[in-house]
């Protein structure tokens, strides 16, 4: 054999061996800790729900799931971009809420493609609504009194949210429009900081999820006036729906929370993660925690959730346009 033929054959063998080693083996997955990126600070519902599910899944798979809070940038963009550019090997995943699909409508250019750079795994819960909550110093004791107070003031009441275009922001804007009152939006970099702003009195009202706000309501730091869903939430049974409380026809659910992987992650790994999430959602203690907090356990298949995900990108683009919401 000529020398150059021998060298070419050796090079081809080395290339084939390297390429084969680069392909993750789903049968061995996972054999080391998994990084779960949450694109918001600790303490908000996106972070809390991600950790609740991760703790159960890691018990099942025998590997640690490390929650990595990446809160920089607007509405989670920095964290999403990290996952979009991560190796497609199943060891970097994303836990996000439905505001993830709002970003394309808010920002003209993103460092990633929401539709093409991610693989949806499953929507693990669907939120039934948010809690209209006011700081203890706000004199309103009901939704009707809050609306009357807002109309009587020279300056608008300030409300905090987890950022521009997220569910808290959209629900508050719908409330503002339906009630016909002035409100001033104060966006924060996540649900945790937004809730802290309410508890401290930096803002006067907010629309947090039931789970993180319930302890503050029970301690008396803040006052819950209404729930945005169409039925009351079990963790706050004395809090009426906003429709019950006087704003007839008002309803806003809190959308989904879901896990994603980088595009080109092998289907076998996607299906393994999905199966573990589905199994976790059958654990009574975890199911009850979500239900008590106003969230319905879901667990659609990757194919089913892919349809919902793409449909929601179009759906929320229409809402953002109608509400004239713009990135600041």
Q: Measured between alpha carbons, how far is 83 from 91 in angstroms, rounded to an integer?
A: 10
Give all strands of the β-sheet with 295-297 in edge-to-edge order.
65-69, 34-38, 92-97, 255-262, 118-127, 295-297
Rounded to 10°, the helix 284-292/210-219 angle is 70
Residue 327: pLDDT over 90: no
Question: pLDDT tens, 133-168?
Answer: 999 999 999 999 999 999 999 999 999 998 888 889
Average pLDDT score over the chain: 89
Question: From the CB of residue 179, how many other CB atoms can be counted at a distance below 10 Å?
Answer: 20
Residue 83: pLDDT over 70: yes
Residue 320: pLDDT over 90: no
Can you say whether residue 255 is alpha, beta or left, with left for phi > 0 and alpha for psi between -120 and 50 degrees? left
**Encoded tokens for 179:** 């009630």
Tracing tokens 């920002």 back to the chain, one arrives at 107
Which pLDDT score, from 0 to 100, does residue 254 have? 85
User: Could you tell me the domains of the chain?
Assistant: 32-126+255-323 (3.40.190.150), 131-227 (3.40.190.10)
Which pLDDT score, from 0 to 100, does residue 21 have? 41
Quick one: pLDDT band at residue 296, thresholds 50, 70, 90?
Answer: very high
- Mean pLDDT, range 165-187, rounded to an integer: 92
pTM: 0.78
Which pLDDT score, from 0 to 100, does residue 14 have? 37
Please give the backbone phi and psi of residue 316, each rounded to the nearest 5 degrees, phi first: -75, -20
Residue 22: pLDDT over 90: no
Q: Measured between alpha carbons, how far is 159 from 142 in angstroms, rounded to an integer?
A: 16
Q: Measured between alpha carbons, how far is 14 from 177 in angstroms, rounded to an integer?
A: 65
- Mean pLDDT, range 246-270, rounded to an integer: 95
Q: 96: closest CA among 37, 56, 9, 43?
A: 37
Which pLDDT score, from 0 to 100, does residue 25 have? 60
């Amino acid at each position: 054999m000529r020398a150059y033929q021998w060298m070419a054959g050796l090079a081809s063998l080395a290339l084939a061996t390297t390429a084969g080693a680069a392909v993750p083996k789903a049968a061995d997955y996972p054999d080391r800790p998994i990084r779960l990126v949450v694109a918001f600070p600790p303490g908000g519902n996106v972070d809390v729900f991600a950790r609740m599910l991760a703790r159960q899944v890691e018990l099942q798979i025998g590997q640690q799931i490390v929650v990595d809070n990446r809160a920089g940038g607007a509405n989670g963009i920095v964290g999403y971009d990290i996952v979009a550019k991560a190796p497609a090997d199943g060891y970097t995943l994303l836990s996000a809420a439905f505001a993830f699909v709002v970003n394309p409508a808010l920002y003209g250019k993103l460092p990633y493609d929401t539709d093409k750079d991610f693989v949806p795994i499953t929507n693990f819960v669907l939120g039934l609504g948010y809690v209209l909550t006011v700081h203890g110093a706000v004199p309103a004791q009901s939704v009707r009194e809050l609306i009357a107070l807002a109309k009587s003031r020279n300056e608008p009441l300030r409300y905090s949210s987890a950022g521009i275009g997220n569910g808290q922001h959209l629900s508050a804007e719908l409330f503002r429009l339906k009630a016909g009152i002035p409100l001033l939006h104060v966006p924060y970099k996540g649900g945790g900081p937004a809730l802290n702003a309410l508890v401290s009195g930096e803002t006067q009202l907010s629309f947090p999820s039931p789970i993180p706000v319930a302890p503050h309501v029970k301690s008396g730091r803040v006052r819950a006036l209404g729930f945005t869903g169409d039925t009351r939430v079990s963790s706050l049974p004395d809090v009426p729906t906003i429709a019950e409380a006087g704003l007839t026809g008002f309803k806003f659910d809190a959308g989904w929370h879901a896990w994603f992987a980088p595009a080109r992650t092998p289907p076998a790994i996607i299906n393994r993660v999905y199966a573990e999430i589905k199994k976790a959602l059958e654990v009574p203690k975890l199911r009850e925690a979500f239900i008590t907090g106003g969230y319905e356990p879901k667990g659609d298949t990757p194919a089913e959730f892919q349809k919902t995900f793409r449909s929601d990108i179009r759906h929320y683009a229409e809402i953002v346009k109608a509400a004239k919401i713009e990135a600041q």
